[in-house]
Amino acid sequence: MRPNPQETDEELLFRIRSGDEDAFLALYHRRQAALYRFALHMSGSTAAAEDITQEIFLTLLRDGCGFDPERGTLSGYLFGIARKLVLRHADRARADVALVAESDEAALPELAVDDDPLVDLTHREGIEALRRAVQALPRRYREVVLLCDLEEVDYADAAVALGCPIGTVRSRLHRARALLLDKLKQDRSPRKATPLHPANPWPGGIQPPLAARTAGRDG
């Protein structure tokens, strides 16, 4: 049976569990690119991203894959698997980014994040500069930016993927955007080097006449 483009992810999964290969391919082509991008930006490795993406879809073929439609969408569930596999990869590679202290996040106010400064920011900044800034974020902020801003996952699905309340998604996203803006502003305004010696007050670097240099000594 050929997949209907209007079928939901959940309907495709139901058919996959019945052994429908076309449904599996349809879901793969629909979600593979976004999951790969997330894994790539989180791991920084194309090889790891490829392995993680493959493992995500293999999980769907196993009996009792664990998806519960009562807890959220299949998309959020797949990103959740991707995140767990990224963490597993990081642990094996001993390259995991240290988490920001819980107290730092607890002190953040609960702010609405309906306005998206990254929309205008993407147009003003080079894509490469934005990519570097995202890579430099601590892991918990990087993953929420990748999900909500770059992959446009809604807050409910992001909460499922990250295993946290929606309020935490909002506060992390607010903090992540502030860090990104600050990082990009720093990149645009590099610090000027401080001269080792004071500038010569005489124009053109010309040395003053001998009389002017010795006037103070005569007194």
Of these ranges, 1-15, 25-39, 59-73, the one predicted with the greatest mean pLDDT is 25-39
Give the distance from CA 84 to its chain's centroid. Answer: 15
Within 8 A by CB and 6+ apart from 146, the residues are 37, 38, 41, 42, 134
Residues of the chain with CATH 1.10.10.10: 109-188
What integer is the mean pLDDT of 57-71? 83
Q: Give helix 21-43 / helix 9-16 axis angle, nearest 10°.
A: 120
Residues of the chain with CATH 1.10.1740.10: 9-93
Distance, in Å, from the CA atom of 170 to the CA atom of 165, rounded to the nearest integer, reads: 9
What integer is the mean pLDDT of 154-180? 94
Query: Percentage of residues in the chain with pLDDT exceeding 90?
Result: 47
pLDDT band (50, 70, 90) for residue 65: confident
pLDDT (0 to 100) of residue 214: 53
Q: What is the CATH number of domain 109-188?
A: 1.10.10.10
pLDDT (0 to 100) of residue 57: 93
Q: Is 19's pLDDT higher than 80?
A: yes
> Structure tokens of 62?
């196993």
pLDDT (0 to 100) of residue 2: 62
pLDDT band (50, 70, 90) for residue 31: very high
pLDDT (0 to 100) of residue 193: 47
Give the 3-state secondary structure of residue 63: coil
Q: Is 96's pLDDT higher than 60?
A: no
What integer is the mean pLDDT of 149-160? 93
Tell me what the pLDDT averaged over the chain comes to. Answer: 78
Q: What is the CATH number of domain 9-93?
A: 1.10.1740.10
pLDDT (0 to 100) of residue 50: 96
What integer is the mean pLDDT of 35-51? 93
Q: Is 187's pLDDT higher than 80?
A: no
Within 8 A by CB and 6+ apart from 170, the residues are 110, 111, 112, 113, 155
Identify whether the C-beta of residue 112 lies closer than 8 Å to the C-beta of residue 170.
yes
pLDDT (0 to 100) of residue 117: 55
Q: Is 95's pLDDT higher than 50?
A: no
